[in-house]
Amino acid sequence: MKDVFSMWKKTKMVVLVALCAGLYAALLIPFKGFVLIPGITEFRPASALPVVMGLLFGPAGAWGSAIGNLIGDFFGSLGIGSLFGFVGNFMFAYVPYKLWINFGKSSEGIGEPDLKSGKKILAYVVVSILGAAACALPIAWGLDLLGMVPFAALGSIITLNNSIPSILLGIPIMLILYPRIKKWDLLWTDIMDEDEIPVAGRLSRIGATVMTVSVLGGMIGGFLAAFGVGQGLLYSGFGAGGDVGSLGVTLVAGVGTAGLIVSSFIQTMPKKSS
Amino acid sequence: MSGTKSIEVKGLSFTYKGEGAVRAVDSLDLDVERGEFIVIMGPSGAGKSTLANSLNGLIPGFIRGKYEGSVLVNGKEARSTPVNRMASEIGLVFQDFEAQLFSTNVNLEIAFGPENFAVDRAEIAARIEKILRTIKLEGFEGRQPATLSGGQKQRLAIGSVLATYPGIICMDEPTTDLDPVGKLGIFNIAKELHEDSEFTLIIIEHETEEALNADRLVIMKEGRIVAQGKPADVLRDVAFTDEVGIMSLQIPKLLSELGACGRDDLPMLPAEGAEFFARKGLFLDRERFREMLDRDEARERGYGDTIVAVDRLSHVYPNGNKAVDDISLVIREREFIAILGHNGSGKTTLVKHLNGLLSPSSGSVTICGKNTAEHSIFEIGKEIGYVFQNPDHQIFADTVFDEVAFSPKIRGCPAEEVSVRVQEALEAVDMAGYEEKDPFSLSKGERQRVAVASVLSARPRIIILDEPTTGLDYKEQKRMMELIKKLNDSGHTIIMITHTMWVVSEYAHRVAAIKDGKVMMDGRTRDVFAREKELYDSFLKTPHIVSLGNMLGGTVLSVEEMKYCTGGLE
Amino acid sequence: MDMFLYVDVESFVHRLDPRTKLLLMFLSFAVGVMFNNILILTAALALVVAYGALGRSLSNLKRIRVVLVMITLFSLVIWSIARPSGNRFLVFSVDGVLYGLMIAVKTNLMIVAGMIFLSTTKIEEIAQGLVKLKIPYRAAFAFSTAIRLVPMIVATSYTIIQAQKSRGLDLDSGNLIEKIRKYVPLMIPTLISVIRGTNIFSMALESKGFGYSDDRSNLLEIRMGGKDYAMMTAGLLILAAAVVLKVDHSIYDAWASIFPWGDFA
């Protein structure tokens, strides 16, 4: 999480936050009309962006995704949900880049995210789905807590709605974008000072594990708790007399959300070269 | 007297990271006196921008690479001073005005620099007032930059840089993306700034004619300064400017190629040229001029049937703006027509009707007998291809082949047919052999040609080109235009939007000038360019050679034509 | 650009400090979140609308009416089908209709409060307000720059759509997956042409002294005045009343009993 704050020192990272946010918002706005849950979420091809921006621009992509979503909300859906949306969309980009640093069994990580092998594509799919869920978790938790939308319905709709474009659109975009961005020296790893880029290592691995467990635990546990009080997935979640704001969901998904945030701080930093 | 020097560059060399051993700037020395106005010219890749970016320390502070030598600006070492501190010594203005504006209104944009230096509020307000006057944007205080025209945006960018009160300003191709009115606005500001004898001005430009106003002209090529001196002295050497690849002034070019005059007496401007003609007993040969008119007519007899018919077309945007107002236009097969007009004149709106991107509010457009209102863009697109101004707005594929193959593939051509068409299109733009290259890493000129090829692969009969030469240097412009001419010769009808007047005069058969949504002039290029005064009133300046011809009583369109028509030589 | 909601007029609300307006917006959110009672929420909505009228910003209701209507319809339909309890008319439950209505009022209340904030506060004031609230300048800068970029990027993407359509791209045909894939030729040029600007953008910024020192001055001056304190006090009083209402069951029940079918506490 240190990188998330230290990045603001670099002018290029500041600019990338602005550009990412602008892009995300600009691509969200035209689809404000394709509403899935009015006032809460809509069909979003722009959801392909956060994972890509996270992998390319690291913390700048995460801030860009969070701010971009907020600006998107300015066009008619600014409300209490925007707060959770800010956190959720931050995580949507942040979780994939964090998990990528130490993905797989090797202690070296899996290498740069150029998606040039089947293994990397698989890894991309996995981190996208986890990112999508990490976005859904705080939003669904928050709105359920406030008694506005049932957890299971919202959680499942956002996760699906986020992962589909991230995978279908994100992979071709990443394949074309990655080599160019790298050539222009705009990968976040090229912009930040070396001693501020988290690397693969024991702490990073623990962080990644806690993060994965939090996301999956919070989401699946949340679903189970929600089913317990009669909620259902997707639109059926609105039915069955589901009790919104129940203690079980609040606790389980809340712990997941908290774990998600805490795990962001656990990472290996390179040894100071000086 | 080192105190009078604004800039001292000594032995500057710079190699960009990852560019091997190619020095973008190579052992360069340059001194600029306080109050001097210098213009730097040269083909793309000459190292002009590298030099500009070295002046305030962006190189090497921001752009990585291998740096040697030193740059002193007002005595400060640019290399070791942070860029943001240099901002009070030297201001840099870039070509891309969109990327230089950050604020939500004009006032705040100007305030941005002084705010960074913690200038107090009352002082900033005073500076804003002063600068708005300099950049002629009084009355625009609260406007959002996005609502300004290109020329106004670039003026604002200059103003925002002036606000930190630097003693030096360096503008890197500030007028490239502007229309003639916008260009004029920038040149006027430059002139005004130069009146302050303490203010040092450096402009990197492509327009040779504008360089004449400078105190000194510096020509760069391959990272070195290859000539410098009084602009007139440098530009008189036509063989040299031709060789370097910048556009030669047409009057000296004509006279030196005719061998009519020694180098030191060469006149520079049309009026001087006409005076020279009179003095030496030279004249425009009527008979030969007549031959050229006959050639024009013969060419017109070769045109085919009507291929584009615009009938009483009007277009009103949803916000009520009537961009096209009752325009009628008939274009025959194999014509080459240039559409002139300022940004906002309605020319782009007009042209977007031709392939069905826009539908008429009233009136009709017929392409190859098909009414655009009754056919989809997809269908109209088989007959008419549209090359947009910025190739980066369409390139998306990994390889040149895939990019060019996009159109035939999406139209359902079988694989073999697709390769044949790609082959043919790439050959037409001289890019055979580039199939597997990455389109994003090509030069601007090459990307522009890929964009043309990707339209050609659909085999349209008509091709629309929107400012195909913008942002290219002279050699690339020439190459692009020769290519378009070749397409025209091979039977394509060409419709071209452009601001570049020499391109129109040398290549277009016909000109339609649009103003306020109406056709102001429409006719043979020769006939329209004869109406120099009217064009000038709309800020469209005819090329020097055309003006000379007009003074001598016959509109010629190129140096070649004038050479052919000059009579009275020994 | 009329893409944004800001209404450029003079009003009492326009002259308030952005921080005051931000607080009032969050107070509206809080009241909306606290209650599940149609009457109380409707009263709160009425207050918010009155505040909007004071800010001469209700013309924007027309611009977001689609959103508001959709929220209402969606809530009514989905909850009236989904709520299992009570009497049914065909598939709709009466209890569900009322519950849907309650959720609709709650959501619309927040959306309208957000709209009023944006209609009466300029972007630069929001950014300035954020800085005053101790959000780091650079973050506020990124935020306001992103907003400025949105219309530019939308315009660019519009040009790109036209360019690709001219080359034969047909967005309307194909199944869902094919349709999503067709966004590739649109998104790649948009992303590349915007991201390509990063270097020039950063260079222009630094060339204007960005980051010269942490001590920055500001042309815009925002200051809390008497009317700000008055409005904030009024807002907090309303919140306090709401808390009392929430906590004190006797008062709440008295309210709820006026229209017991609309209460879902």
With 60 as the cut, is the pLDDT of residue C86 above it?
no
Inter-chain contact B62–C192, Cβ cutoff 8 Å?
no
How far apart CA C263 and CA B144 sit, in angstroms, is: 47
With 90 as the cut, is the pLDDT of residue B568 above it?
no
- pLDDT, residue B144, reads 83
Residue C47 exposed, middle or buried by CB count within 10 Å (0-12, 13-18, 19+): middle
With 60 as the cut, is the pLDDT of residue B1 above it?
no
Q: Which of A15-19, A46-50, A106-110, B297-301 has the lowest mean pLDDT?
A: A106-110
- pLDDT, residue A41, reads 64
- pLDDT, residue C89, reads 60
- Give A-chain residues touching C66 at CB under 8 angstroms: 33
DSSP element (H, E) containing A125: helix A118-145
Inter-chain contact C199–A80, Cβ cutoff 8 Å?
no
Determine what percent of chain B is predicted with pLDDT higher than 90.
Answer: 76
Inter-chain contact A240–C82, Cβ cutoff 8 Å?
yes
Of the candidates B255, B396, B464, B151, the residue with the CA atom closest to the CA atom of residue C186: B396
Residue of chain C whose alpha carbon sits nearest to that of A71: C147
pLDDT band at A273 (very low <50, low <70, confident <90, very high): very low
Residue C192 tokens, joined: 């590349």
**pLDDT digit string, tens, across residues C34-69:** 888 889 999 999 999 999 999 999 988 888 888 788
DSSP element (H, E) containing A180: helix A170-183
Q: Which of A114-118, B558-562, C112-116, C261-265 has the lowest mean pLDDT?
A: C261-265
Strand order in the sheet with B76-77: B25-33, B5-16, B65-73, B76-77
- Give C-chain residues touching B128 at CB under 8 angstroms: 219
**pLDDT digit string, tens, across residues B273-323:** 999 999 999 999 999 999 999 999 999 999 999 999 999 999 999 888 899
C12 to chain B nearest CA, in Å? 20
- pLDDT, residue C82, reads 64
Q: How many CB pairs under 8 A join B and C?
A: 176
**pLDDT digit string, tens, across residues C65-84:** 887 888 888 888 877 776 66
Residue of chain A whose alpha carbon sits nearest to that of B439: A180
- pLDDT, residue A274, reads 40
pLDDT, mean of residues A80-107: 87
Give, as one character, the DSSP assignment of residue A199. Answer: B
B406 touches chain C (CB under 8 A): yes
Q: Whole-number mean pLDDT of chain B? A: 92
Of the candidates B115, B118, B99, the residue with the CA atom closest to the CA atom of residue B107: B115
With 70 as the cut, is the pLDDT of residue C3 above it?
no
Inter-chain contact C111–A12, Cβ cutoff 8 Å?
no
In A181-200, the residues whose Cβ lies within 8 Å of chain B are 183, 185
C66 touches chain A (CB under 8 A): yes
- pLDDT, residue C180, reads 76
Amino acid at B53: N
- pLDDT, residue A35, reads 60
Query: Per the confidence metrics, is the pTM higher than 0.90?
Result: no
CB–CB of A188/A9 below 8 Å?
no
**pLDDT digit string, tens, across residues B337-391:** 999 998 888 999 999 999 999 999 999 999 999 999 999 998 999 999 999 999 9
- Cα angle for residues B419, B421, B425 (degrees, 5° grid): 120
- Cα angle for residues A246, A248, A254 (degrees, 5° grid): 100
C146 touches chain B (CB under 8 A): no
Inter-chain contact C150–A29, Cβ cutoff 8 Å?
yes
C168 touches chain B (CB under 8 A): yes
Chains that touch B (3 or more CB pairs under 8 A): A, C
Amino acid at A51: V
Q: Which of A195-209, B190-204, B459-473 has the lowest mean pLDDT?
A: A195-209
- pLDDT, residue A241, reads 45
Residue B301, number of CB atoms within 10 A of its CB:
6
In this predicted model, which residue has the larger pLDDT, A240 or B567?
Answer: B567
DSSP element (H, E) containing A59: helix A59-73
| Burial per residue of B475-506, b for 16 or more beta-carbon CB atoms within 10 angstroms, e otherwise | ebbbbbbebbeebbeeebbbbbbbbbbbbbbb
Domains in chain A, ordered, with CATH?
2-200 (1.10.1760.20)
With 50 as the cut, is the pLDDT of residue B504 above it?
yes
With 50 as the cut, is the pLDDT of residue B2 above it?
no
Residues β-bridged to residue A161: none
All structural domains of chain C with their residue ranges:
18-121+223-258, 143-207
A122 to chain B nearest CA, in Å? 21
Residue of A9, A17, A115, A176 for testing the chain B interface, max B β-carbons within 10 Å: A176
Give the ipTM: 0.86
- pLDDT, residue B31, reads 95
A180 touches chain B (CB under 8 A): yes
**pLDDT digit string, tens, across residues B117-176:** 999 999 999 999 999 999 999 999 888 888 888 899 999 999 999 999 999 999 999 998
Q: Closest partner residue to A45 among C154, C183, C205, by Cβ? A: C183
* Residue C167 neighbours by CB under 8 Å, 6+ apart: B381, B385, B394, B406, B407, B410, B454, B455, B458
Q: Please report how the helices B250-258 and B270-280 are oriented relative to each other, as an axis angle in degrees rounded to 10.
A: 30
Of the candidates C251, C265, C261, C249, the residue with the CA atom closest to the CA atom of residue C36: C265
Q: Whole-number mean pLDDT of chain C? A: 86
Residue B59 tokens, joined: 């190189």
- Cα angle for residues B503, B368, B349 (degrees, 5° grid): 55
Q: Closest partner residue to A180 among B17, B64, B440, by Cβ? A: B440
DSSP element (H, E) containing B513: strand B510-515
- Give C-chain residues touching A74 at CB under 8 angstroms: 4-5, 114, 118, 147
